[in-house]
Amino acid sequence: MRRKGWIGLTFLALWAVCGFDPVWAGVPTEKVKETTDKILAIVSDPALKDPAKEAQRRERIRKTVDELCDWEEMSRRSLGRHWAKRNEQEKKEFVHLFGQLLERTYIDKVEGYSGEKVDYVGERVDGEYAEVDVKIVTKKNTEIPVVYKMRARDQKWWVYDMVIEGVSLVNNYRTQFSDILAKSSFEGLMKKLKEKTAE
């Protein structure tokens, strides 16, 4: 009798874990989800699978990602204290090149999409800042936690950083940039960035 009770409780607990609906999903999550769904639709579209259509496919992904990511904010944060020392022209050129590199990295990643499940597991909003927690579940029995860090600008939410398995993209580039800037110069950094995007 006692054991039956435990089994019942275990099932109840199972239901509680699996059965909850994400009623919390707010605007930042919707924005991330909308863009992610659009991108996944593009990469899984059989009409665009043809290698000859690669340029077209990548262009469509690029347009969609541009609606989500704030490249200037990412650039500003990645350069850190060095940002203020640059003039408008240099800033513009930097945002353009760095944005290209980030776009390409992102597109390369999603092009490798093979039916992974994307779960939206949490959201925190505080004023103009928000964080959206996502879990990518692969078929290889791994879960990749991703946090989208967002900021509201012009009545819209924009991503300014992505934290993948605890590794912030912005912090990772900031470490690289400050290392390069310490050993060479802003011109040297721009040269490296140009070479990288031309690869």
Partner 1 sequence: MKRTGLVFVIAILCFVGFEDTSSGQSTATYAPENLSGARRVELASIQVASLKEASADEEEAEPIESSGETVPDPLEPLNRAFFEFNDKLYFWVLKPVATGYKTVVPEEARVCVRNFFNNLAFPVRFVNNLLQGKFFGALEETCGFLVNSTLGLGGLADIATAVDIKRHDEDLGQTLAVHGAGPAFYINWPFLGPSTLRDTIGTAGDMFLDPLTYLGNYWYAPGFRGLNVVNETSLKIGDYESLKKAALDPYVALRDAYYQNRLSKIKE
Residues engaged in binding partner 1 (CB under 8 A): 3, 6-7, 9-10, 13-14, 16-18, 20, 22-24, 26, 76-77, 79-84, 101, 104-105, 108-109, 112, 121-127, 129, 133, 139-141, 165-168, 170-180, 189, 192-193, 196, 199
Shortest distance (Å) from residue 47 CB to partner 1: 25
Shortest distance (Å) from residue 22 CB to partner 1: 6
Burial readout 119-134 (b: 16 or more C-beta within 10 A, e: otherwise): ebeebebeeeebbbbb
Toward partner 1, which CB reaches closer, 47 or 139? 139
Toward partner 1, which CB reaches closer, 67 or 188? 188
Shortest distance (Å) from residue 8 CB to partner 1: 11
| Long-range CB pairs of 39-46, under 8 A, 24+ apart, other chains included | 39/64, 39/65, 39/110, 40/110, 40/113, 40/118, 43/110, 43/111, 43/113, 44/113
| Long-range CB pairs of 37-46, under 8 A, 24+ apart, other chains included | 38/64, 39/64, 39/65, 39/110, 40/110, 40/113, 40/118, 43/110, 43/111, 43/113, 44/113
Toward partner 1, which CB reaches closer, 176 or 185? 176
Toward partner 1, which CB reaches closer, 67 or 128? 128
Shortest distance (Å) from residue 136 CB to partner 1: 14
